[in-house]
A and B are shown apart, each in its own frame.
Chain A
Amino acid sequence: MFHRFANPTRFLKLADIIQPWAAGLTLAFLGAGLYFGLIASPSDYQQSETVRIMYVHVPSAWMAMFCYTALAISAAVGLIWKHPLADLAARATAPIGAGFTFLALLTGSLWGKPMWGTWWVWDARLTSVLVLFFMYLGYMALQNAFDDPQRGTKASSILALVGFVNVPIIKFSVDWWNTLHQPASVVKMGGPAIHSSMLIPLILMALAFKAYYIWVMLMRIRGEVNAGKIRALRLRQVHGGAPTNTNLNKEAG
């Protein structure tokens, strides 16, 4: 019981230091990324101004997969080592990942209509990302489907791990199947295949999204730690403040 509370307390102290930096970096990268993305970068010779959708679409898609990977790792650590903070990190990551996955789908659709002539196709890349979005929603729904939060965490963690299979499928879907979606052009052998004038805003926006993730995730972990304390206090109230082990420890210390 002691390490349960000691750990989050130490962690929250660290979060107090990191959070303002993450917030500042988010705003700085976002400002620079928007400037380079919307103003200081050229339009594409084939795609004209729609190429600017790339600066939000690609980082959103990267975050969709990054967040799910972080979620699956946290869920695994929580399951195997019963680390309470890992469970909270997974819980805090899910809504952010779902948000970015939604954005990847929506901005992709807005880019697809003028360039492909369609909002949506049921091809491997688009479908597997839609499945990813439902994995996030399923994870969050399952977590809250149990009266006992620990059972909810366990069940949803297992779901998150099973669903991780989808992440490599998304990554390689453009190579394994015929698709309207273009293959990777930034992270590839022999260096990125896009010009630096377009790579700079792309990287800046990606950094902004990553800093934003750290910022908001730390906020949500803080909320989850508070919620856990509230639950513990409520339980004690229900039991009429009977001197349980935790009470004794607290009063003795």
Chain B
Amino acid sequence: MSEFLEMGGYGAYVWPAYGAVAVVMLGLWITSRRFVKSTEAELTKLTPKREATDET
């Protein structure tokens, strides 16, 4: 296992490369998901409100 992590002495280059890919892909996925959820929440919040202002 530690041999695998060492990557023939190049672990300090290989693992940060894979780690960066994981961080960027996860980060983009999380922010995109949050974007969808927050806009959906905002839409449902706005819809009844619109009805209320229509009546006044």
On A, residues with C-beta under 8 Å from B are: 38-39, 43, 48-50, 52-53, 56-57, 60, 95-96, 99-100, 102-103, 106-107, 110-111, 113-114, 212, 215-216, 219-220, 222-223, 226-227, 229-230, 233-234, 236-237, 240-241
Contacts and interface: CB of A to CB of B under 8 A. Distances in A.
A57 B13 CA distance: 12
A123 B36 CA distance: 40
B20 A103 contact: yes
Nearest to A226: B39
Given A222-B36, A226-B36, A53 B13 contact: yes
A137 to B, nearest CB: 15
B26 to A, nearest CB: 11
Interface residues of B, number: 33
Determine the main DSSP class of A at the interface with B: helix
B32 A107 contact: no
B29 A216 contact: yes
Contacts of B24: 99-100, 102-103
B13 A113 contact: yes
Contacts, number: 98
A49 B10 contact: yes
Given A230-B42, A241-B50, A43 B21 contact: no
A237 B50 contact: yes
Contacts of B18: 38, 56
A237 B14 CA distance: 54
Interface of B: 4, 7-11, 13-14, 16-18, 20-21, 24-25, 27-29, 31-33, 35-36, 39-40, 42-43, 46-47, 49-50, 53-54
A57 B17 contact: yes
Given A99-B24, A107-B21, A52 B7 contact: yes
Given A49-B14, A219-B35, 8 more contacts: A48-B9, A49-B11, A60-B21, A102-B24, A219-B32, A222-B36, A236-B50, A237-B53
A126 B40 CA distance: 40
Contacts of A56: 17-18, 21
Contacts of A212: 25, 29
A219 B7 contact: no
A111 B46 contact: no
B17 A227 contact: no
Contacts of B10: 48-50, 114
A110 to B, nearest CB: 5
20 contacts: A48-B10, A49-B8, A49-B11, A50-B13, A53-B17, A56-B21, A60-B21, A102-B24, A110-B13, A114-B10, A219-B32, A219-B33, A220-B35, A223-B35, A226-B36, A226-B42, A226-B43, A233-B43, A233-B46, A237-B46
